[in-house]
Amino acid sequence: MAEARSAGARIRSEVDGAVAVLTLDRPEKLNALDQTMMAGIEAWVEATEADRAVRAAVITGAGEKAFSAGGDIAAWAGLDPVDFMRGWIRTGHRVFDRLARLRQPLVACLNGHAFGGGLELAATADLIVMEAHGRIGLPETGLAMVPGWSGTQRLVRRYGSRVVKRMALAGEMFGAEEALALGLVDKVVPKGEGLAAAKALAASIASRGPVAVQVTKQLINAAEGEEEAAAIESVAGALVAFTHDLKEGAASFREKRPAHFEDR
C-alpha cells in the first residue's frame, strides 16, 4: 500500500514499500521548475535520505506531455544578474547535486519531454526510463542562454561531449529511440507505461543488498567524478569503524588512558 506524503507546493510524494516516488506536479506549465519546486525537491531528498526503509527512488512528472520543460522563465526573467547567479543557478546546482548523490539509487521516469533544466534534472538519476512519445534537448543557446544546472558538466561526464554539443550548440532534439541508441536513456516504453516500468526497476534494485547497493552507487559516482572525495572517505571510515583499533582508541579516550593498539 502506497503512503502519500506532503512534499510542498507543486510537488507530490509517496512511499510504496521500499520505493519513494517524487512527482513534479505542475502539468499546466509542463512541470517547469520554480524556486518553490526546487525547495520541495530538496526537502524530499532530506526526508528520503533519512528514511531507512526506503531503498530506491523514482522521480517523474505529472501529465502526459512533459517530465519537465526546464526552468520556469517567469521565475528567473526578472532577476538581476547577481540574484540570477546566486539565487537561481547556485540553488539549482545545490539541489541537483543532492539528488545525484542521494544514497538510494534514483530512477527517472520521463513521462514526456525533458528540455533544458528538465534534462539536467533527469541526468541526476542513476537510470532513466523514457516513454516513446517524449523528446529531449538543451535549447538554452536558442534563447541566448547557457545550460545552467550542470548541462555542460554532469551531462558531459555521463554522456560524452559530442552528443551534448549536438544538443547544446546545434539545438538538436532527440526522440526516445534515438536517445536510447545514444545511451542518453536506459529503457523506452510505450506512452503511459513509464511509471510502472520505473517502479518495477526501482523495486528490483530495492530487493538487493541495501548496503552493497548504496556503496556500489557511490563508487560508480566517484568513477564519474560525481563525489570522489566523499566516496573515498566514507568507504575508508566504514572500514576502520569495524576494527579493534577504533574500539581501543574510543575506550582509551573515555577512560583517559594511553591507547594500547595491537600489532598487525
Q: Which residues have CB under 8 Å from 148's CB, separation 6+?
A: 71, 88, 89, 92, 117, 140
Task: For residue 230, name the pLDDT band (cuts at 50, 70, 90).
Answer: low
Residue 190 has pLDDT above 80, yes or no: yes
Tell me how far apart the alpha carbons of residues 162 and 166 are, in angstroms, rounded to a whole number: 6
The pLDDT value recorded for residue 242 is 74
pLDDT band at 35 (very low <50, low <70, confident <90, very high): confident
Using alpha carbons only, give the angle 191, 194, 200 rounded to the nearest 5 degrees.
Answer: 145
Mean pLDDT of the chain: 89
pLDDT of residue 71: 81
Q: Residue 234: pLDDT above 80?
A: no
pLDDT score of 72 more than 90: no
Average pLDDT estimate for 174-185: 98
Q: Has residue 233 got a pLDDT over 90?
A: no
* Angstrom distance (rounded) from CA 82 to CA 159: 31
* Phi-psi group of 96: left, alpha or beta (phi > 0 → left; psi -120 to 50 → alpha; rest → beta): alpha
Mean pLDDT of 227-248: 73
Residue 89: predicted pLDDT? 75
Residue 152 DSSP label: T
For residue 231, pLDDT over 70 is answered with no
What gap in Å lies between CA 88 and CA 3, rounded to an integer? 32
Query: Where do the CATH 3.90.226.10 domains begin and end in the chain?
Result: 2-206
Residue with cell 519531454: 113
| Residues of the chain above pLDDT 70, percent | 88
pLDDT in tens, 98-116: 999 999 999 999 999 999 9
Q: What is the DSSP string of 166-196?
A: HHHTT--EEEHHHHHHTTS-SEEE-TT-HHH
- Position with higher pLDDT, 71 vs 61: 61
Task: From 81, 53, 63, select the one nearest 26 (Cα to Cα).
Answer: 63
Q: What is the pLDDT confidence band of residue 146, given thresholds at 50, 70 and 90?
A: confident
Residue 246 pLDDT more than 80? no
- Nearest to residue 45, comparing CAs of 123, 93, 106? 106
- pLDDT tens-digit series, residues 191-201: 999 999 999 99
For the segment 1-26, the average pLDDT, to the nearest whole number, is 83
Specify the pLDDT at position 250: 83
Fold of 2-206: 2-enoyl-CoA Hydratase; Chain A, domain 1 (3.90.226)
Which residues have a catalytic role annotated? Answer: 120, 140
Amino acid at 183: G
More confident residue, 122 or 76: 122
Which amino acid is located at 146 in the chain?
Answer: V
- The predicted pLDDT at position 88 comes to 66
Query: CB within 8 A of 22, min separation 6: which ones?
Result: 7, 11, 12, 13, 41, 44, 48, 57, 58, 59, 60
Checking if the pLDDT of 184 tops 90, the result is yes
Query: What DSSP state is assigned to residue 144?
Result: T
For 160, left (φ over 0), alpha (ψ -120 to 50), or beta? left
